[in-house]
Amino acid sequence: EAQVTQNPRYLITVTGKKLTVTCSQNMNHEYMSWYRQDPGLGLRQIYYSMNVEVTDKGDVPEGYKVSRKEKRNFPLILESPSPNQTSLYFCASSTTWNQPQHFGDGTRLSIL
């Protein structure tokens, strides 16, 4: 089954404790992306990757890191999480950058 898998689905943690949200896709997609969704603001792109070893900042990259060492995986790293990063996060992938994206089920992060 074609899918984008995010883990964990839910996480409550404290300020400053490094965390990683994993994302994996099994569709051999080149383009992968991370979004955060906040009430009233819609989805905002954090980082995206056109292919392996190619990553770029989206609209709201501050406080986040990503890596793309393999085509299927695109982890999101919060080195020192802060409360303003409390949000619902989505990973997505597509064949190329302007084609339909497949979304994971989301990760709800709460930073206390």
Partner 1 sequence: SQQGEEDPQALSIQEGENATMNCSYKTSINNLQWYRQNSGRGLVHLILIRSNEREKHSGRLRVTLDTSKKSSSLLITASRAADTASYFCATDVYTGNQFYFGTGTSLTVIP
Kindly list the residues in this chain that would bind partner 1 in the complex (CB under 8 A).
4, 31, 33, 35, 40-45, 48, 50, 56, 58-59, 88, 90, 92, 97-106
CA distance 29 to 42: 24
Cβ proximity to partner 1: between 15 and 32 the closer is: 32
Cβ proximity to partner 1: between 16 and 40 the closer is: 40
Cβ proximity to partner 1: between 15 and 97 the closer is: 97
What sign for the dihedral angle of Cα 97, 98, 103, 107?
Answer: positive
User: Closest approach of Cβ 110 to partner 1, in Å?
Assistant: 14
SS3 48: strand
CA distance 16 to 21: 15
Rg over alpha carbons for the chain, rounded to the nearest Å, is 13
Q: Which pairing describes strands 107-111 and 65-66: parallel, antiparallel, or unpaired?
A: unpaired
User: Closest approach of Cβ 24 to partner 1, in Å?
Assistant: 14
User: Closest approach of Cβ 73 to partner 1, in Å?
Assistant: 18
Cβ proximity to partner 1: between 19 and 43 the closer is: 43
